Structure 1
Amino acid sequence: EGIDNDDDGRVNEDGIGGYDPNRNWPADWQPEWIQYGATDYPFSLPETRAIGEFLLDHPNVAAAQSFHNSGGMILQGPSASYMSYPASDVRVHTEIANKGGEMLPFYDPMIAYKDLYTVHGGEDGFTYEGLGIVSFTNELWTEKRMFADGENPSRDKRTQFRDLLQFEDVFVPYHEVEHPKYGTVLVGGTTKYSSRVTPPWMLEEGCHRNFAFTMFHADEMPLLQWGAMDVKKMGNQVWKVTVEVANDKIIPSRTAMAARHHIGMPDILMCTTSGTNHVATSGTVRSLLPTTKLSVIDSTRPERIVVNRGIGGKDSTLFQFIVDGFGDVTFEYRAEKGGTLTRTVQLREQFEPKIIEHKRAIPIPPAS
């Protein structure tokens, strides 16, 4: 109080300064003269560098949320008007954010640059644009919660909330103190905790709801499963083997952003043969109908299919292999953010439908 920080004859007009960790990420990073708080270069701060190194060391991370202090928002990119996201990824972000808006009263799903302001070097930009992770920024406190009416309170309403519900938690009564330079001065008023932070007695519900939204987000990470399997005999020891890889979750096994910019490893489906058989050709089909044509993948290694776009959210893909021989073949589907599936199939006529599971909020434990 009452300090001339820069000897210009003016008191208390200087901000406290400092850096902003949410401007220090390698995603459209800009220098200080364009983006305040960015510091010298991306990852120059130990906090951002530590998180960045962890994520780079764990490419399986498929969901991220960054918690900030005030606004009542579920923010998603783009963070600048000159950037654009693939439509399929926008749909994924929007579906999850809209559910968050239902779970978090008075929170609004928003596009950063369009509904708020431009951000250079933001964390959710790095995690999505740089790593292909479905990401959000949650602004935790919102004054709309003060009287739970969904309205931004007026100045009088904020004062009423402070006086009736916070008492003297965030207000220091005005009183005289002796200043070393100015003598007797009057000190008091609201503290720095009077705005932009959740009142302590309201934290439990706010934290619980944000935790629940985080868990919903996590539960919608890709979960790959084998679907239908069909083996048909085409001729003397020639087999048409069709396997389905399904993803019942919202988030794809590889985001379109990752596929577009070759971020991380693409999904791979391998058909491992034995000494009694080999793969002649392979590709994808649109259905299990006998008349469906094989969309052949032009490759010198037909036993290996590169699935650059992964398995979409709430979607599946039918892969087909033409195998010559007898015995067994083993399939392995490997996704960086969706895990690994394996199954062994006998070369004999057979069909297995996709198992339909009804999702429950609390799974029934298996019978012992």
Structure 2
Amino acid sequence: MSRSVDRFLPVDGYVPVIDLSTTRTKAGELLVAQAISGACETSGFFTVVGHGVDQDLVDRMYAVSRAFFERPAGEKAEVAVSPGTHGLYADAGSAAKSLGNTAPPDLNEVFIAGVRGDRPVESRAPDGNTASPWGAVNRWPATPPEFRAVWHEYMAAMERLATDLIRDDKIDDGMSTLAANYYHPLSGPPLPGQLRKGAHTDWGTLTILYQDGAGGLEVEQKRRGWREVPFTQGGFVVNIGDLLVFWTAGRWVSTLHRVRNPAEGRTGARISIPFFHMPRHDAPVEPALPVLRRRHRDTVPHGHDTGRVVPQSAGGDGGLNHVPRRARPRGRRLAGERVERPSSAERHRDPERTL
């Protein structure tokens, strides 16, 4: 067996670990394409290693984020989110409510920044809507003093990695966000049904997650229940969002995931750092492939669920270049009939689903 094939390691056959460094050859790139496509059609989750992100940067990002969350509550409140801003959500709400489920608040707090959030208003909100999620201004803490610089450096690294996974001009100048989740130590038993993060799916194209070794991330597998996504040293967990399900006409899946509470006797803190990738706010959203089978038709939104029609001139040709290059099929035609679809801005994540 070749070295490249050896580097695609399944976790119980459901969440593979994929080495991106093997794409330096055409044969390696084909193997990566097959591995990613297979994962996206089954679990919607995979872990990447060999991605080129400096581990020192990851360590610094983790350190400054943890140092911020461990500051006094009053000090953190100075950067609390407000209308038109990104910042701290001391109460992150319930992710499960984003799917219409009733649940107590999640046991975590979150700091969020947008990749556009430090730009002048005409660049940050080109449509003039400064109240939109992509038009919000970032609020930065004064302590740790290096917090802002490290977050900017990490955002740039995540944008490069996302671009390596999705090579398409629709993602240029996107409206992505970066978050840090702090799951504080548990001081008492949770409420019935209360989790560190309730079951949810992500809205965007894909999520790139760094998680520490504390564990807790779980993904749902049909007929098998909840399966843990283990910590992989030097790796990032990648999962598909609802937008790519739509763009691939239901061929790829956006799977429910959650963060369970620690086992009894283990009450320590946990930190995860997800980068939520989104395309440009004016990118058109439509299936890039024909909806061929009934099970796919059931997963592709239609009618009132899909929002308004975006004119063809608003954002490109709506062709196969919406699909990540590594899994892009050859020789396929688009469905002849155009469908109603929202702009990517209209499907931008609710803060309760970002985490």
TM-score w.r.t. structure 2 length? 0.25
Structure with a larger share of its residues in strand:
1
Q: Structure 1 length as normaliser, TM-score?
A: 0.25
Larger Rg: 1
Higher relative contact order (CA 8 A, sep 6+): 2
